[in-house]
Amino acid sequence: MNQLLEQLFIQYVRDNKKQLYILAYSYVKNEQDALDIVQDSIQKGWLALDRIDNHAQMKSWFYKIVVRTSIDFLRKMKRIQVTDQQTLMYLCEESQDTYKNMDLENALEQLPLELREVVILRFFEDLKLDDIAVILQIPLSTAKSRLYKALKLLKIEMENEERHGHG
């Protein structure tokens, strides 16, 4: 295996471990499960390192591994947990404005996973739609329509929150 690639991978994981954890947590809503998913993803990434074509694409390549590992975990567990808001607030205190708006977090929770993951990757992880399509292994047009649909539903959900005095 390419030694430079190994070093790049190790450095990438070290530099981004918090974001990787938050990404996994956004799926499984459980601290220990998210840590396990990141560990599993690192192992999978390490074993598949020789399959990466372009070093510049390490982020989208590795995010795909984390997302797939998270989804596989949810399928196995057949459960989606309700967010523990205090834990989420604690986890994200150091990161910029990520997840600070709890009304938005509540509205996001109402979305089906396939819509929620597009929103999370686009706005919280700041990825381009092209990269999101690659990560989720869906056509670009599907990524766009899911994002559009999610934003439409979020707007309706946010308006309902405000109307009922929760906002």
Q: Domain residue spans in the chain?
A: 1-100, 101-167
Tell me the angle at which helices 58-77 and 129-136 cross, rounded to the nearest 10 degrees: 50
The domains spanning 1-100 and 101-167 adopt the same CATH topology: no
Tens-digit pLDDT profile for residues 149-159: 988 888 877 67
Does position 22 have pLDDT exceeding 80, yes or no?
A: yes
- DSSP class of residue 52 equals -
pLDDT at 93: 47
What is the residue-wise DSSP string for 81-149? PPP-HHHHHHHHSSSSSTT--HHHHHHHHHS-HHHHHHHIIIIIS---HHHHHHHHT--HHHHHHHHHH
- CB-neighbour burial class of residue 120 (10 A; exposed 0-12, middle 13-18, buried 19+): buried
Give the integer Cα–Cα distance in Å for 23 and 71.
12
Output phi, psi for 32, to 5 deg: -65, -40
Residue 20 has pLDDT above 90, yes or no: yes
pLDDT at position 161 is 65
Q: What's the rounded mean pLDDT across residues 78-93?
A: 48
Using a 10 angstrom Cβ sphere, with 0-12 exposed, 13-18 middle and 19 or more buried, the burial of residue 145 is: middle
- Cα(27)–Cα(30) distance, integer angstroms: 9
Query: Could you report the per-residue pLDDT of 128-142, keeping only the tens digit for each?
Result: 898 888 888 899 999
* CA–CA gap between residue 17 and residue 62 (Å, rounded): 11
pLDDT value for 143: 94
Pick the CATH number of 101-167 from 3.20.10.10, 1.20.120.1200, 1.10.10.10, 3.40.1710.10: 1.10.10.10
Tell which CATH architecture fits domain 1-100: Orthogonal Bundle (1.10)
pLDDT band of 78, cuts 50, 70, 90: low
CA-CA distance, 160 to 147, in Å (whole number)?
A: 20
The tokens for 135 are 């990560």
> What's the rounded mean pLDDT across residues 74-91?
55
